[in-house]
Amino acid sequence: MSNQDITKDEIMAIYPKVAEIIADALGCDEEEVQPESSLINDLDAESIDFLDIVFRLEREFKVKIPRGKAMEEARGELTEDEFEQKGVVTEAGIAKLRAYLTEVPADRIKPALKAAEIPKLFTTETFCKMVIREQKGA
C-alpha cells in the first residue's frame, strides 16, 4: 500500500488518540506532540520508547504492528545492499525514504544518512500511518 492511499482525514481521525498515547508514553504534554514532531529529536524518545508506543497503539487500535515493518516498507523492493552500504543509506535508499516518509521534511532525509538514524526521522504522523496501514490490512 502506498502513502497516497492514506488521506489527511484518516490521519486526523486518529491523530488525537495517537498524540495522547505518545505523550503518555513519553511523559510529556500533549501540546508538545505535533504531527511533524520527531519523536527522538523533538520529544526525547529513545528506541525503547518506540516499543512501548507501538504496544500501546496496538492495544488501543486493535492492530498488530510487526517490529521492523516500517523499515521494511521504507525499503520497498530494494534489497538491503541496494538500500544501505556499510551502514549508510544509498541514494536509491534516500529516494525511497523520502517517498515513504512523506510527512518528514525532505531536508531531514539527507545523503550520507546512517541507517541507524532512520528512527530519528519518525514523527507522530509516521505512527498514525502505521496504525492506518494495519487497519487497512496492508
Locate the domains of the chain by residue range: 3-135
Tell me, rounded to whole angstroms, the distance of Cα 46 from its chain centroid: 14
Q: What percent of the chain has pLDDT over 90?
A: 84
CATH second-level architecture of 3-135?
Orthogonal Bundle (1.10)
Q: With 70 as the cut, is the pLDDT of residue 21 above it?
A: yes
Q: pLDDT at position 4, please?
A: 58
Q: Which residues pair with 123 in a beta bridge?
A: 38
Q: pLDDT per residue over 74-112, tens digit each?
A: 898 999 999 999 999 999 999 999 999 999 988 999 999
Half-sphere exposure at residue 63, Cβ-oriented, CA atoms within 13 angstroms: 19
CA separation for the pair 87, 108 (Å, rounded): 17
